[in-house]
Amino acid sequence: MMAQKPLSLVGDTFSPRSHIMTNDVGHFARELETSLARLDMTALSKQFAGQITSCRGSSATAALISASPLMAERTRDIVDGTSHEDICKLVWQIGGRSDVEQEGRSVTLQQGDIGLYDIAIPYKFRVSGDFKILVLGFSRSSQAFAGRTLADHSQGHIASSVGMGVLKSMLLTLLTESDDNDEGDHILSCASQLAGRLLTRCRTQAELPVRLELNVNQLPASWHQKILGLQANPDLTPDMLAKEFGISRRSLYTTFADLGITPAAYIRSVRLASCREILESRNGAAGTLASLALDFGFKDQSQFNRAFRREFGVSPGQLKGTSMN
């Protein structure tokens, strides 16, 4: 049995990015306890394999986790043996499937879904398929959430898909590219603040766990269509968009700020979504990545590869190979 110790998802200083690969589910569970939370785990296949890339800051913890099928449980004994800090986990299901149960409620997360649950309450889950998740652990008592509660999506709260995409990209950048400790702590701080804006609202309280519903239609349809028509232009800038829409640069930025994203980031997300759609089609997968990058306004394939991996958690080459099989 693992020794009980106080849980601390966040620390006084930034802990640099760490990465482990293991075929031992016990080792995997111990490493996960260090980075996120203590869990009892059972592998569901004879050949277990797991990977964890994580870092911890003063305001939040982020981790990229993949594993063979397994069952995990955070029991009442485990919860009672740790601190009772009000901590939630925001989870992006990048691959595979997760079935989560907590306090008689259950949610199923499949590829592309986003879930939220509270580690201060016992829960259990089962993962299957090509399981891979991105996790942001944060405290609801932190400054980012002061005086606020997690919004109940069943009462009409729908999270911004664009804002959640930006948050996901920030965390993937931190976990796959950034090696600067000061930059890393800043990214986690910004991620915690953005999560606070996207997930909370005064006066309502969500029952967890929950699968978030995302609003994909917040930008005026005519604006989105205009950006789609201009996305191949490598010189497309926010100033050009403001001119196309017949508004001031300030008005443009104000509109996008309400979505939790900048105009430049939205342009990049539109381009990357179009590229992914092409790569997932058999005809599109036959072309070269270099030509695809240039066709959608990226200066070279390296820039395209980095942006694509940050957005979707896989490289365009990996997605192309899957589509061609």
Residue 26 and residue 32 in contact, taking contact as beta carbons nearer than 8 Å: no
For the stretch 230-259, pLDDT in tens is 998 988 999 999 999 888 888 888 788 766
Domain with CATH 2.60.120.10 in the chain: 15-214
DSSP 8-state secondary structure symbol assigned to residue 318: H
Domain with CATH 1.10.10.60 in the chain: 221-324
Question: What is the rounded distance in angstroms from the CA atom of residue 70 to the CA atom of residue 43?
Answer: 4
pLDDT at 127: 94
Largest CA distance in the chain: 65
pLDDT at 56: 85
Residues with Cβ < 8 Å from 287, sequence gap 6 or more?
278
Question: What is the rounded distance in angstroms from the CA atom of residue 5 to the CA atom of residue 108?
Answer: 30
Measure CA 241 to chain center.
28
What dotted CATH number matches 221-324?
1.10.10.60
Q: What is the dihedral of CA 74, 57, 114, 214, to 10 degrees?
A: 140
Q: Which helix (H) or strand (E) holds 247?
A: none
Positions in the chain short of pLDDT 70: 1-15, 83-86, 140-162, 178-182, 200-208, 213-218, 258-260, 282-286, 321-325
The residue type at 118: D
Report residue 285 as tokens. 């997968």
pLDDT at 157: 44
Q: At what angle do helices 249-257 and 263-279 cross, to 10 degrees?
A: 60
Class of domain 15-214: mainly beta
pLDDT at 240: 92
Question: What is the rounded distance in angstroms from the CA atom of residue 137 to the CA atom of residue 150?
Answer: 14
